[in-house]
Structure 1
């Protein structure tokens, strides 16, 4: 039977698209197969992908019965798997506790930071849950504590562009949201992928030099687009290396922006 692929953000939008796209006969109906679920990541909406197939109503009833039987088998199998996983987890936890007690009695606890830093385990647990919930092709590459005390989370995957967002906007928002949670309020957590932040910093410094030269050449002040505070600091720093220029911050976050102007320019 005929099949079409539709993309929609929600169920209502999908139903409207189906009603406009399909012309059904009296003995026909349709069934929907989800190829990709719709997602919302911070400020980014990603449409779901659906396969719509026109089928005979009689065929649908037969397929439904077969599907229900198969789903029941899968559910029973999943119950057994979950039970095995639960038993394995309990056994693993008991072994861990037993080893910890043994090490404690013998005075063999390691002082290595990678073994003793519980914050890394908390951060890893948070990001595992986050990645599962957003259903994107993203994985944790590494989590480490840097010399300045900040925790760096390195992610990678085909869908990282959605988590980074336009000019890093989604990534900045994610870091801000993490910093406001009660669990991580006392920690500084940075998220990066494929050295994106380093590349972004180079891009911002190039932008600052380019705009700074234009101000020196024309004498006209230049207003930049709104940026996060750490990106404004990069612009401030780079302009400070250029004689005869200064920067001024204007507005309130998240729309706070910079103006590059000559030092002798009157306000």
Structure 2
């Protein structure tokens, strides 16, 4: 279980100082939420409140949840964790990567969604945690970037718009970002989820 540590002090700086001392940690190894809380009876006053979870606790919780799911699927699994400033990455190695990845990465995406939802339900924190399998996502990202660039330059040369297959919001954002770096090209998202898609067009 991930423990949420709470500190209520006269200001944020004092709360953070106390938290870092008691938890024997640094700000790069925690996730933190800041708020104000009214205390007292007749003479009310506002105090600064921080809620903190340790990235190491998130990693241990995540590893155990993934291992439990993998065991139910009949898989053996190893997990390598990396902490970054704005996200945590878990790289999985199993005896059957194809099952964990699924068609077009759907099983991998579902596993990531389950993990993020479970952490949020237990802590109230939205944690940017990325699950990969032997760098599958990185390889896919490179392939997608190469393919989208090829399509964009073809559109730029011919002037003929290209409609892509429906994508999730993460994939669409990727396409918008890639095309945004190509002069003379614009993109437009059309339709409703889950059939929302992108059209790549030449700027007029």
TM-score normalized by the length of structure 1: 0.52
Aligned mate of 1:241, from 169, 178, 181: 181
Whether 2:110 is the aligned partner of 1:146: answer: no
Q: How many residues align?
A: 156
> What residue is the counterpart of 1:62 in the other structure?
none
Contact 1:250–1:258 at 8 Å: present in 2 too? yes
The structure with the largest alpha-carbon Rg is 1
Map 1:50-199 onto structure 2 (within 5 A): 111=25, 113=29, 117-136=56-75, 138-148=76-86, 150-181=87-118, 182-183=121-122, 186=125, 187-199=127-139
Q: Deviations over 1:187-223 (max 9, x none)?
A: 2221012211111111111111111122123221111
Larger strand proportion of the pair: 2
Q: Please give the secondary structure, in 2, of the residue aligned with 1:208.
A: helix
Distance 1:189 1:198, change over 3 A: same
User: Per-residue deviation at 1:249?
Assistant: 0.9
Distance 1:204 1:109, change over 3 A: closer
Larger helix proportion of the pair: 1
Contact 1:154–1:193 at 8 Å: present in 2 too? yes
Distance 1:197 1:228, change over 3 A: same
> What residue is the counterpart of 2:141 in the other structure?
201
Contact 1:163–1:170 at 8 Å: present in 2 too? yes
User: Per-residue deviation at 1:116?
Assistant: 7.7
Structure 1 distance, partners of 2:124, 2:68, is 18
Contact 2:155–2:200 at 8 Å: present in 1 too? yes
Structure 1 distance, partners of 2:111, 2:23, is 35
Structure 1 gap ranges (5+): 1-106
Higher relative contact order (CA 8 A, sep 6+): 2
Contact 2:165–2:198 at 8 Å: present in 1 too? yes
User: Per-residue deviation at 1:141?
Assistant: 2.6
> What residue is the counterpart of 1:96 in the other structure?
none
TM-score normalized by the length of structure 2: 0.66
